[in-house]
Amino acid sequence: MPGLGTIVNALAIIIGATIGFFAKGKISSRFQKTIMQVIGLSTMFIGVNGVVSQMLTFDGKAFSTQYTMNMILFLVIGSIIGEAIDIEEKLDSFGEWCKRKFNVKNDGEGFFVEGFISSSLLFCIGAMAIIGSLEDGINHNHTILFTKSLMDGISALIFAASFGIGVYFSVVPLVIYQGLLTLLASVVSPFLTDSVIGQMSLVGSVLIFALGINLIFGKKVKVGNMLPAIFLPLLYGLLPF
């Protein structure tokens, strides 16, 4: 059944967030801050691992790098596109709308919106979201998304314990994003060479690293406005040279 992986992924986030939400009141602010720093640091290293795995190559004699200039080009152009659209502001606005719509109280420090945006980005921009959704759509193989579901459920638990109810709403962009990738998989699959997938994963890993910076130091990088960069390797791969 195409889309089953995304459905399970969404349910795992909801379950994890529910456990974390009820644990929130039992964790002091001092411990919450420390936990968030640990999450941020772990997220940064996940990003570094993804970047190194795609950029670093070994020919049997020496190490070398690949895709460096392409990565910079994709990030610059993608950021310009995202800044023009102002994706970050639209995510903020959607988070604020959800908060008003569901009459969320006791959010004086803006945890609702921060939790929604941070968890949405973490769940959507990784390589597993891209490759897993494509595998789901093309081969009806849910293995990658099932594995991702376990990881996201644990992350949702920790995020909800720190940020609260806003983490629940990250399910909306996740379902839309992974669902569209799954539906369009058969259309784009002929163009998804190993090089294209590798570069999409590389750019996504850079954004995960940037998200880790934001989790530790506050919103220093507009990760949301960089999201178009993830899809530029696919467009680049369509060029006739």
pLDDT digit string (tens) for 177-191? 899 988 888 787 778
Those residues whose C-beta lies under 8 Å from the C-beta of residue 134, and which sit 6 or more positions away, are: 181, 182, 185, 188, 189, 192
> How confident is the model at residue 76, as a pLDDT?
96
Of 2-16, 20-34, 144-158, 217-231, least confident by mean pLDDT is 20-34
Q: Which helix (H) or strand (E) holds 65?
A: strand 63-65
Give tens-digit pLDDT for 227-238.
899 889 988 887
Share of the chain above pLDDT 90, in %: 20
* pTM for the full predicted model: 0.82
Q: Show the domain range for 203.
A: 4-237
Local confidence band at 105 (pLDDT 50, 70, 90 cut-offs): low
How many structural domains comprise the chain? 1
Tell which residue, 191, 199, 195, has the closest CA to residue 230: 199
